[in-house]
Amino acid sequence: MNQTNSGLTDLNLLRVFLAIWDLRSLTAAGEWLGLTQPAVSHSLRRLRTLFDNPLFVRTPQTMVLTKAAIRLHGPLDEAFGIISLAMQAHGHFDPATASRVFKISMSDMSEFYFLPPLLAALESTAPKGCFEIVQLASESAGAACVPARSTSRSAKCRG
């Protein structure tokens, strides 16, 4: 880390880092964050100076991660998650404006019978939400509590 800039005072830089990590594109990261591509480029320059590392290197197909970016991602992602949870804990939950990912666990039979009407109801109640369905083994005694396997799929997501 660059000693002259040892304090990460702008948490928006963290958001930019994570968006570039997820999308591997400055333009797409800007669209996701509601920023212009030049603003994302400027933030990336600041991150590069802060960490004294290129972090992401452009190739014709994508942005390639440096070893430093790989080392930083886990702790930064975890920190941002903690900050997000802290902020959400003090807010009122409004399903009409919530844009988080909701995981729903159900058996394949429940998925067949209940998922279509459930998603139809959620479409009007929580239009910005993303719903991931985690399939449970119907023969499992604890199927209502514990996912049988860690596979999930997105049933409805909007950008």
Do 10 and 84 fall within a single domain?
A: yes
Distance of CA 107 to the CA centre of its chain: 25
Distance CA 48, CA 37 (A): 16
Whether the Cβ atoms of residue 107 and residue 144 lie closer than 8 Å to each other: no
Q: What is the pLDDT of residue 156?
A: 54
> Do 70 and 19 have their domain in common?
yes
Q: Which pLDDT value is given to residue 104?
A: 87
pLDDT at 91: 74
Give the DSSP H/E element, type plus range, for residue 106.
Answer: strand 101-107
Q: Which two tokens stand for residue 99?
A: 């844009």
Residue 58 confidence (pLDDT): 93
pLDDT of 106: 86
Low-confidence ranges of the chain (pLDDT < 70): 1-9, 137-159
**Inside any domain, residue 129:** yes
Going by C-alpha positions, the residue among 121, 122, 126 that lies closest to residue 93 is 126
Residue 130 lies in a domain: yes
3-state SS assignment for residue 33: helix
Question: How many domains does the structure of the chain reveal?
Answer: 2
pLDDT at 147: 43
Is the domain of 40 the same as that of 83?
Answer: yes
CB-based burial label for 40 (10 Å; 0-12, 13-18, 19+): buried
